[in-house]
């Protein structure tokens, strides 16, 4: 078994194209008859690309994106300069002003002025921005001046930024020209998600500059890891090259990993987190009550059966089972019609089954160079239209158990039909990746009107017990900007996240811009936001897996 390759990549390259094209996950990263993959490497990337006659783009921290034929993947993985290779995964937007502003105590006086984000840039990596909404520009003598310092639209062609090979970049002068002329600005926020997120940031910190990345979703209709990492890389380089304090706001998440900081995206963020004066703010997701996670604590004495429901019309699904290397267990899968597949105890090759007009592929993998845990990846793909509906079962027969913890995740809600869920799910450890990364501020949601936890908000802790989410912010019935003008009401951790991003920008303005603490960024900002969080009695003992250390209160967080 080649442990340098991610489990889903190993399954994907062994799956016939006509089957893979029907998969929810396996075809992500396959474009124009080639694979776009993420690598961690040592040495000179240019030499690696030249040796294999492939193309690629360097990211910070010795990560890169490569474009490669399937026949070359195994060969390049055997190169000693390659540490690990992973295919991209899909991400879902975490959606479900001023009440939130007040409840988060964000009116913070600084001598004779308020902290309003001046001198701080907030990078919003999302679905784009409606630059014409009046929240995002000021009027001076009948001239419009944008708050946006730069916008990279990955979906356009013409003027890519820096060394990136796609998209078109517009600086502030470009955007001001469009704002003050009849020329049509070609970049559009189709979903409105990015505009809504940015509207909260601009309402809470109206002096903050905005750096916008519109992520490319053309190939899969969803954001994938590669484009997300490029957006992150672009933002970090912008902050570093311009010596700017920056908050990076991410409102995307998935279940593609062990929820312990070990996916390649989490590793990437962890490595580049301090490459500039950065604070990272990430939504915790909306999967707490979606039924997409179940945890088992196994002993040696019995079988364990866990059931999940698949609705009619489900195209394909995948399941990830994670456990410690110390535990030996036989795993079986039972279909709604009673067919039993397994045990899945082969660690040398892909196991393939055809039953009831479905293609089912199972691969055990691990440990890998970036993770000590074992993964069993199960892909269920229809040979014709849909997979079998009804109650499926995953059955565990323990052989030798030392640790005993098993975590199983289905894809996040929003990526499949709603009626896909475990019958007796576990609501803890439902925060989505990358909010599980250690050095980000993971943000959950609460209802600031009723002072209650938002039941949908992703819950912690991580598998190894790290407190996540770090805190919560208003995320229920939030009024914010609407594409085309006007306002809309939104719910979700996507919209709690920008409140915390604005709070972080205020602290960075106080410390770095105002000269009170030039090192007030990153984990230091997180620490002060945790210190100032409201410990409302209605939330119970603090910290907890619902709200972390409490509710955002910027006024009490100023050092």
88-115 tens-digit pLDDT: 999 877 655 444 444 545 555 544 458 9
Residue-level pLDDT at 301: 84
What are the two backbone dihedrals, phi and then psi, of residue 28, each rounded to the nearest 5 degrees?
-60, 125
Is pLDDT at 23 greater than 70 in this prediction? yes
What's the whole-number mean pLDDT along residues 125-151?
96
Which domains, and CATH codes, for the chain? 7-88 (3.30.70.2980), 93-286+432-557 (3.40.50.200), 293-422 (2.60.120.1290)
Residue-level pLDDT at 302: 87
pLDDT digits (tens, 9 = 90+) for 62-77: 999 999 999 999 999 9
Q: Find, among 74, 75, 68, 66, the residue nearest to 45 by Cα.
A: 66
- Look at the block and give the residue holding tokens 């409840």: 103
Is pLDDT at 368 greater than 50 in this prediction? yes
The SS3 of residue 178 is helix
Structure-block tokens of residue 119: 């001198």
Residue-level pLDDT at 274: 96
Q: Where are the alpha helices (DSSP H) in 89-142?
A: 98-103
- Look at the block and give the residue holding tokens 């040495």: 43
pLDDT digits (tens, 9 = 90+) for 375-415: 999 999 999 889 999 999 999 999 999 999 999 999 999 88
Higher-pLDDT residue of 366 and 269 is 269
Residue-level pLDDT at 95: 59
Order of strands across the sheet that contains 405-409: 293-297, 405-409, 317-323, 374-382, 358-365, 351-355
Residue-level pLDDT at 267: 96
- Look at the block and give the residue holding tokens 């719910």: 491
CA pair distance 44, 62, nearest whole angstrom: 9
Is pLDDT at 338 greater than 90 in this prediction? yes
CA pair distance 441, 273, nearest whole angstrom: 12
CA pair distance 108, 242, nearest whole angstrom: 27
What's the whole-number mean pLDDT along residues 317-336?
97
Beta-carbon contacts of residue 167 (< 8 Å; ≥ 6 apart): 152, 153, 154, 155, 156, 157, 160, 161, 216
pLDDT digits (tens, 9 = 90+) for 409-441: 999 998 888 899 999 999 999 999 999 999 999
Q: What is the mean pLDDT of the chain?
A: 93
Residue-level pLDDT at 418: 84
pLDDT digits (tens, 9 = 90+) for 30-55: 988 999 999 999 999 999 999 999 99
Contact call for residues 378 and 333 (beta carbons, < 8 A): yes
| % residues pLDDT > 90 (the chain) | 86
Structure-block tokens of residue 228: 């997300």
β-pairing verdict for 278-283 and 246-250: parallel
pLDDT digits (tens, 9 = 90+) for 242-297: 999 999 999 999 999 999 999 999 999 999 999 999 999 999 999 999 999 999 99
pLDDT digits (tens, 9 = 90+) for 434-465: 999 999 999 999 999 899 999 999 999 999 99
Higher-pLDDT residue of 223 and 434 is 434
Measure the N-to-C terminal CA separation of the chain; round to a whole number of Å.
Answer: 52
What's the whole-number mean pLDDT along residues 8-24?
92
Least confidently predicted of 159-168, 417-426, 460-469, 536-545? 536-545
Ordered DSSP codes for 333-401: EE-TT--EE------SS-EEEEETTEEEEEEEE--BTTB-SEEEEEEEEESSS-PPPEEEEEEEEEEE-
């Amino acid at each position: 078994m080649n442990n340098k390759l991610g489990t889903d990549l190993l399954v994907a390259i062994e799956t016939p194209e006509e089957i893979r094209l029907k998969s929810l996950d396996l075809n992500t990263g396959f474009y124009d008859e080639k694979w776009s993959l993420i690598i961690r490497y040592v040495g000179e990337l240019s030499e690696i690309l030249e040796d294999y006659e492939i193309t690629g783009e360097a990211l910070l921290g010795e990560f890169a994106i490569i474009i490669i034929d399937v026949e070359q993947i195994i060969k390049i993985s055997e190169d000693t300069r390659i540490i690990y290779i992973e295919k991209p995964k899909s991400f879902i937007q975490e959606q479900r002003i001023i009440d939130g502003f007040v409840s988060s105590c964000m009116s913070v006086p600084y001598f004779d002025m308020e902290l309003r984000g001046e001198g701080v840039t907030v990078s919003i990596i999302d679905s784009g921005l409606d630059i014409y909404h009046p929240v995002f520009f000021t009027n001076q003598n009948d001239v419009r001046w944008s708050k946006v310092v730069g916008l990279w639209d990955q979906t356009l062609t013409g003027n890519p930024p820096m060394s990136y090979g796609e998209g078109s970049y517009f600086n502030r002068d470009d955007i001001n020209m469009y704002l003050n002329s009849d020329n049509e600005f070609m970049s559009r926020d189709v979903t409105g998600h990015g505009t809504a997120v940015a509207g909260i940031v601009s309402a809470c910190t109206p002096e903050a500059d905005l750096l916008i990345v519109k992520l490319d979703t053309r190939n899969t209709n969803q954001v994938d890891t590669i484009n997300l990492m490029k957006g992150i890389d672009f933002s970090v380089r912008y902050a570093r090259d311009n010596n700017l304090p920056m908050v990076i706001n991410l409102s995307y998440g998935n279940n593609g990993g062990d929820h312990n900081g070990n996916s390649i995206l989490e590793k990437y963020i962890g490595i580049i987190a301090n490459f500039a004066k950065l604070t990272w703010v990430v939504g915790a997701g909306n999967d707490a009550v979606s039924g997409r996670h179940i945890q088992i604590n196994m002993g040696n004495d019995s079988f364990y059966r866990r059931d999940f429901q698949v609705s009619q019309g489900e195209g394909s699904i995948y399941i990830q089972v994670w456990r410690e290397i110390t535990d030996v267990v036989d795993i079986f899968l039972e279909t709604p019609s009673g067919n039993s597949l397994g045990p899945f105890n082969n660690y040398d090759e892909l196991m393939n089954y055809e039953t009831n007009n479905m293609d089912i592929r199972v691969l055990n993998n691990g440990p890998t160079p970036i993770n000590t845990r074992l993964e069993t990846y199960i892909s269920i793909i229809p040979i014709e239209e849909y997979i079998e509906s009804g109650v499926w079962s995953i059955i565990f027969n323990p052989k030798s158990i030392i640790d005993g913890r098993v975590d199983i995740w289905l894809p996040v809600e929003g990526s499949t039909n709603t009626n896909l869920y475990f019958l007796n799910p576990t609501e803890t450890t439902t925060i989505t990746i990358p909010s599980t990364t250690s050095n980000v501020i993971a943000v959950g949601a609460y209802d600031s009107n009723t002072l209650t936890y938002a039941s949908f908000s992703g819950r912690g802790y991580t598998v190894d017990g790290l407190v996540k989410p770090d805190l919560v912010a208003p995320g229920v019935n939030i009024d914010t900007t609407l594409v085309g003008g006007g306002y809309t009401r939104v719910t979700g951790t996507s919209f709690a996240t920008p409140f915390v991003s604005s709070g972080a920008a205020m602290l960075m303005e106080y410390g770095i811009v105002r000269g009170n603490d030039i090192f007030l960024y990153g984990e230091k900002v997180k620490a002060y936001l945790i210190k100032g969080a409201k410990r409302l009695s209605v939330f119970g003992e603090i910290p907890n897996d619902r709200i972390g250390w409490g509710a955002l209160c910027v006024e009490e967080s100023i050092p």
